[in-house]
Amino acid sequence: MKKQIIVGMGSCGIAAGASKVYDKINDIIIADGLDVELKKTSCIGMCYKEPLVEIIDTNGRFLYGDITEDRVIDLIDKHIENHEPIKDLIVDSDMFEGSEKAYFDGQVKIALRNCGYIDPECIEEAEEHKAYKALKMIANKPILCETIIQTIIDSGIRGRGGGGFPTGMKWRFARNNRCKMKYIICNADEGDPGAFMDRSLLEGDPHAIIEGMIIGAYAIGASEGVIYCRAEYPLAIKRLNIAIAQANERGYLGNNILGIKGFNLDIYVKEGAGAFVCGEETALIASVEGLRGMPRKRPPFPAESGLWKKPTNINNVETFANIPYIILNGADSYNKYGTEKSKGTKVFALTGKIKHGGLVEVPMGVTIREVIFGLGGGIQDDKKFKAVQLGGPSGGCIPEHLLDIPIDYDSVNSTGAIMGSGGMVVMDESTCMVDMARFFLAFTQDESCGKCTFCRIGTKRMLEILTRITEGKGKEGDIEQLEELSEQIKDGSLCGLGQTAPNPVLTTLKYFRHEYEAHIHDHKCPAKNCKALLTYEIIPDMCTGCTICAIKCPTDTITGSKKEIHFIEQEGCIQCGECYSRCNFDAIRIY
């Protein structure tokens, strides 16, 4: 067997230096004339160990983490030429326990089944990993459309984009429409800041999404497909286009697909132009039609009148990625995971102040604590956990005492957050919750399309109040006004963006009201994050009189001469933090 070296080349891997590693390995292979096959794959989800390099030889597979450019020579020298695996760098392996075994063991990979295991630009490899097998099964038997829809309903899968509407039901609505021309759209406009599940799927296993769309198109009777993808994901767009061309060549797309008479489907990629609101179905359709992406009133739902006024079915990337697995293995193989009302698995993007940031797929029903402290390894630098943000700008912050709730749609909703698309941003004690709420409001305010008055102006007023609070100019009654505005925006907005925009404020008010009060009444930021509310002071015992702070102070408010204890005049201090970051003796205290 020829040895294989596989380099993880997802966007995040490349950002960590994977392409340089790939080039270097390639150079060595050519220079030394090694009999090794060098391949690429995409993200396996273990972003905190990037760049990742996998070696497969007669002894099995060895996954190495943290393989930077300077470690390449050593790795090839020891493992390839002398058959001695470098144990310290192995994160997972067939032969012995890697350091990150727990990270893999805790996961159930269904949507991510091929991510990081196949070369996403090679359809043969995807086919070896069962790509298009479900489609072939449908074509060979043949399976009726209604049976497929029933299988999807039985599997219990709900829309993974955040809404959580049962996918099978959505398909049935579209199926029941008698119109001849129907569309199927894949929503890959992953706009949630702090979430990258869809990007990894699109980059890592584009064929799974295309196959899911083909099966969906067959079930509902659609003949044209659109993948609406963010322009910020150039690699995903490139790989999708390659995959579509390959699928066309193989007859998975085109006319009379796999011999099914009258089943024609073409799929093309539509690049988004950067608007968060286009994640909403009707706004997305407007954008595909070349208009401003503004949502419209529903009904009529897209299943009746969608793209070009024709029945349209829209599902999220992750939803489509699950479909081939469900069809191939049966509904039971999927609904055996999860809780009563939330079946299957869910992919989460673990980010923020967490040790093991990356992508994880877990069965519904595990607790948030298990994900953060089990798979995620806990908080960076072993600081204290404060909150986890679920659901992006539409979601909320969940405090520590609620960490043991199971992850399913209904339990998460009961906290005031939402499941969302799967972003999980972990915050520690140094994150200010008022600032967090302000951050999300700034985002939604900027992204509001402007159609509904309450969303357009309401979010602006809320942002002004929040900004004022973080600048230490909070007033009595601000909290109450925030609550009042929140309710009005929720009631007075047409689409999900507006209806959920106040969630970050409402949840932080619910669980961290004391932080708001500290800002307003005591003019203090408990997390020591809001600059305007900080006081800088020199600790006399620690000061050596090196004068660096006095030299660097932009307002010359630090007094003291050489080798004498310095002093900050509070009146002139602008809280820039320059003295704090310059001091070499930890002699500056913030409170």
Which parts of this chain interact with another protein (CB under 8 A)? Answer: 11-12, 14-16, 47-48, 50, 190-196, 199, 231-234, 271-276, 287-293, 308, 349-353, 357-358, 389, 392, 423, 425, 427, 431, 436, 439-440, 443, 446-450, 456
- Cβ contacts of 400 within 8 Å, gap of 6 or more: 385, 386, 387
Residue 338 vs 352, nearer CB to another protein = 352
State the nearest-atom distance from the C-beta of 315 to another protein, in Å: 20
The one-letter amino acid at 369: R
What tokens appear for 119 in the block? 């070369």
Minimum gap (Å) between residue 352 Cβ and another protein: 5
- Please give the sequence-ordered ranges of beta strands (E in DSSP) within 310-415, or none if there are none: 312-316, 345-352, 358-363, 385-390, 396-399
Q: How many CA atoms lie within 13 A of 117 on its CB side?
A: 14
Shortest distance, position 435 Cβ to another protein, whole Å: 9
Beta carbon nearer to another protein, 272 or 474: 272
Min separation Cβ 448 and another protein, Å: 6
Residue positions counted in the chain: 591
Query: Which residue lies nearer to another protein by CB, 193 or 254?
Result: 193
Contacts 24+ apart (CB under 8 A), 331-338: 331/151, 331/152, 331/154, 331/155, 331/156, 332/154, 334/110, 334/155, 334/156, 334/157, 335/154, 335/155, 335/156, 337/108, 337/110, 337/363, 337/364, 337/365, 338/156, 338/363, 338/364, 338/365, 338/408
Give dist(CA 349, CA 197) in Å, integer: 6
**Nearest to another protein of 342, 431 (CB atom):** 431
Q: How far is the CB of 560 from another protein (least distance, A)?
A: 26
As measured in angstroms, the least distance from the Cβ of 308 to another protein is 7
Cβ proximity of 313 and 302 under 8 Å:
yes
Q: Which is nearer to another protein, 164 or 191 (CB)?
A: 191
Supply the minimum distance, in Å, between the C-beta of residue 428 and another protein: 9
Beta pairing class for 183-188 and 224-229:
parallel
Task: Give the C-alpha separation, 433 to 1, whole Å.
Answer: 55
At 427, the amino acid letter reads M
Shortest reach from residue 138's CB to another protein, in Å: 30
Collapsed DSSP state (helix, strand, coil) of residue 233? coil
Complex with another protein: residue 80 or 437, whichever CB lies closer: 437
- Name the residue nearer to another protein (CB basis): 170 or 199: 199
CA distance 443 to 210: 31
Q: Is 265 helix (H, G, I), strand (E, B) or coil?
A: strand
Element (H, E) at 537: strand 536-538
* Interatomic CA distance for residues 573 and 536, integer angstroms: 8
Nearest to another protein of 192, 211 (CB atom):
192
Between residues 216 and 391, which has the closer beta carbon with respect to another protein?
A: 391
Closest distance to another protein from the beta carbon of 313 (Å): 18
